[in-house]
Every structure is written in structure tokens, then in C-alpha cells.
């Protein structure tokens, strides 16, 4: 369950957050609308010429898998959920003409979109796949039922929704809730003291001066939570965290027991707004930085 997180660290220039001027983008909006129409058409007809009955082609990594990877890339660029759902439905409807092809692509979707060590991990896209799987007439009721727990899990803490509230213990023994912290942004990170990638991300957060300054200017509170239940490891790791962060411990392991958050990767990062609504789900540090650059420029 504790899988690597891929770090795409780029130099940070905080100044660009404050020196970008506003531009008239009416023309660019019109151009973007035309591009979206073209992109929708490409997406919906992406699999038209692919022969799902050719099992050798399907299982050839340079053809079937590459085709799916390119398809996922296009899906991720489309902002319309209805279009994404329709594109996935069309693709899987075509795949189900050959059960071998169907099963192969379902496994590939899980590998690319849901496994913790995948850099293309994306619950929003996987939701479209899961929605298809629990309604298709190809699968038995028992087969469909196997996908429902994962489907419920990806629906939790979606972007735009309120993050699941939970209690945690502080180093002084006091308890408080996620909702108790009143700040403009909350950088919520679930970490494992033994995870090397967690340590890397934590050290970047703590030791990069530009990033520390950026978080201070934007009123970002880091809340670091150890949900794994080993108090000794949590206590021993406390010195590695910034004293400006909130360091919490889930003593009763409720986050894991009740699946409040899907912790298939370590670390798992969320960015929340002042009302604790999810801005970014299961994201990376660089994507948080990119979000701040985009929203504050």
C-alpha cells in the first residue's frame, strides 16, 4: 500500500506570482472553444480504427498499451466529465466484443490510473471506468460488486467537495480535528516515517527557502499526519518536521479503518481551501506549486 510518489521538482520563482499583468483573453477563449470541439471529436473517435478482435495487437505493448496511454493523455486534457464518460463508454463497448481484450484493457486502466506507483494516477479518470464496470451487461452481478468498494473510495474527497474531517493527536497529547485549523489553504500530507519518498517531499517543504516563503505569503498551513499507527516511529520522526507545521498522529487508525482517505501512495497529498474543500486530490508537490502560480498570477 505504501508506494513511491514521483517527484517532478522544478525551480521555483515566487516573483512570477506577483508581477504578471492581466491581459485581454477574449480571443484566446474563442480559440480554446474551437480547440475543445476538435479535441472532443478526436477523443470520441479515437478507437474507431483499432481492431479489438486482434488479440495480438491488443497485447502488443507498442500498440494496445501505447494506444491506451495516448487515450488517457487526451482524457486528462478534456475538462468535460460527460465527454470523458462517453469516450470511455465507447471504447469499452467496442472492447467488450472480445472478452480477452476487455479484460486486458481493464487491467491496464487500473495499472495506469489507480495503482499507487503510477505517475499517471488519476481518480477522476478512473471513476469513468468504474462507473462503466458497475453498469455494463458484460459482467455478472458478483463481478460488478467487486468494483463497488473502489468506486465508493474514489468518490470520497473529490475536488470541490468538503474533505473528510478526522481527529488526530498532537505531540503534547491534545487532540484536534482537521476542521479546527482556520487558514486560507491547508496542505494536508499523509506520510510514513519509513518512506524515503515521504522524507524527500518533507525535506523539500521544510528546506526550500522559496517554498517556505511562498507558503507563508499565501497563508498555507502544512498538516502532516502519520496514519500508520506506530507511535514510537511517529515520535522519533518529529524532529524532521518544521516546528511551524501541525504534526498529527491517528492513534486509533480511523483514517485507514474507515477508508476516510485513499492512501494507496506515500506520501498522499491534498490541497484544501479555507472551508476545507478539496482543491487538489492525491496530488504532487509540484502540482501544488503550479496551482498557486496559476491562481495567483
Q: Determine how β-strand 185-190 pairs with β-strand 268-272.
A: antiparallel
Residue 280 dihedral angles phi and psi, to the nearest 5°: -135, 130
Mean of pLDDT values over 160-180 = 96
What pLDDT score was predicted for residue 30? 60
- The Cα 52–Cα 64 span in angstroms is 9
Residue 172, C-alpha cell as written in the block: 503534547
- The Cα 16–Cα 10 span in angstroms is 14
Mean of pLDDT values over 149-168 = 96
What pLDDT score was predicted for residue 21? 40
- The Cα 31–Cα 141 span in angstroms is 46
Residue 131, C-alpha cell as written in the block: 462507473
- The Cα 63–Cα 60 span in angstroms is 5
Residues 27-78: pLDDT tens digits? 666 655 555 567 789 999 999 999 999 999 999 999 999 999 999 999 999 9
pLDDT for residue 264 is more than 70: yes
What pLDDT score was predicted for residue 267? 96
This prediction has a pTM of 0.82
What pLDDT score was predicted for residue 7? 37
pLDDT for residue 147 is more than 70: yes
Q: Are 227 and 253 in contact (CB under 8 A)?
A: yes
pLDDT for residue 296 is more than 90: no
Residues 104-118: pLDDT tens digits? 999 999 999 999 989
Helix (H) and strand (E) counts for the chain? 13, 7
Please name the residues in contact with 281: beta carbons below 8 A apart, sequence gap of 6 or more.
123, 157, 158, 159, 270
Under DSSP, is residue 118 helix (H, G, I), strand (E, B) or coil? coil
Helix intervals (H) in the chain:
16-19, 26-44, 55-59, 66-77, 81-95, 99-113, 123-133, 141-155, 196-207, 209-217, 231-237, 254-257, 285-295
Mean of pLDDT values over 251-265 = 94
What pLDDT score was predicted for residue 172? 93
pLDDT over 70 percentage in the chain: 87
What pLDDT score was predicted for residue 24? 52
pLDDT band, very low/low/confident/very high, at 133 (cuts 50, 70, 90): very high
Query: Average pLDDT over the chain, rounded to whole?
Result: 89
Instruction: Write down the residue that cell numbers 477574449 correspond to.
Output: 26
Under DSSP, is residue 160 helix (H, G, I), strand (E, B) or coil? coil
Amino acid at each position: 500500500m505504501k508506494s513511491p510518489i514521483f517527484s517532478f521538482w522544478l525551480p521555483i520563482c515566487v516573483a512570477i506570482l506577483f508581477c504578471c499583468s492581466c491581459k485581454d483573453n477574449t480571443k484566446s477563449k474563442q480559440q480554446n472553444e474551437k480547440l475543445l470541439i476538435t479535441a472532443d471529436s478526436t477523443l470520441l473517435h479515437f478507437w474507431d480504427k483499432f481492431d479489438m478482435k486482434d488479440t495480438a495487437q491488443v497485447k502488443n505493448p507498442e500498440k494496445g498499451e501505447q494506444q491506451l496511454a495516448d487515450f488517457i493523455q487526451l482524457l486528462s486534457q478534456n475538462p468535460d466529465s460527460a465527454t470523458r464518460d462517453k469516450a470511455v463508454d465507447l471504447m469499452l463497448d467496442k472492447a467488450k466484443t472480445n472478452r480477452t481484450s476487455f479484460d486486458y484493457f481493464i487491467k491496464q486502466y487500473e495499472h495506469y490510473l489507480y495503482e499507487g506507483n503510477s505517475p499517471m494516477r488519476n481518480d477522476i479518470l478512473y471513476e469513468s471506468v468504474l462507473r462503466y464496470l458497475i453498469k455494463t451487461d458484460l459482467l455478472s452481478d458478483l463481478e460488478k460488486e467487486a468494483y463497488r468498494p473502489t468506486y465508493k473510495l474514489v468518490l470520497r474527497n473529490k475536488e470541490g467537495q468538503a474533505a473528510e474531517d478526522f481527529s488526530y493527536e498532537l505531540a503534547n497529547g491534545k487532540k484536534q480535528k482537521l476542521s479546527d485549523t482556520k487558514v486560507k489553504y491547508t496542505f494536508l500530507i499523509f506520510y510514513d516515517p519509513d518512506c524515503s519518498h515521504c522524507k524527500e517531499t518533507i525535506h523539500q517543504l521544510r528546506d526550500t527557502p522559496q517554498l517556505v516563503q511562498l507558503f507563508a505569503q499565501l497563508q498555507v498551513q502544512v498538516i502532516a499526519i502519520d496514519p500508520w499507527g506506530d507511535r514510537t516511529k511517529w515520535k522519533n520522526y518529529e524532529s524532521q518536521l518544521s516546528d511551524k507545521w501541525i504534526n498529527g498522529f491517528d492513534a486509533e487508525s480511523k483514517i485507514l479503518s474507515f477508508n476516510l482517505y485513499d492512501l494507496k501512495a506515500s506520501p498522499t497529498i491534498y490541497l484544501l481551501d479555507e472551508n476545507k474543500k478539496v482543491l487538489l486530490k492525491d496530488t504532487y508537490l509540484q502540482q501544488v506549486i503550479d496551482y498557486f502560480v496559476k491562481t495567483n498570477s
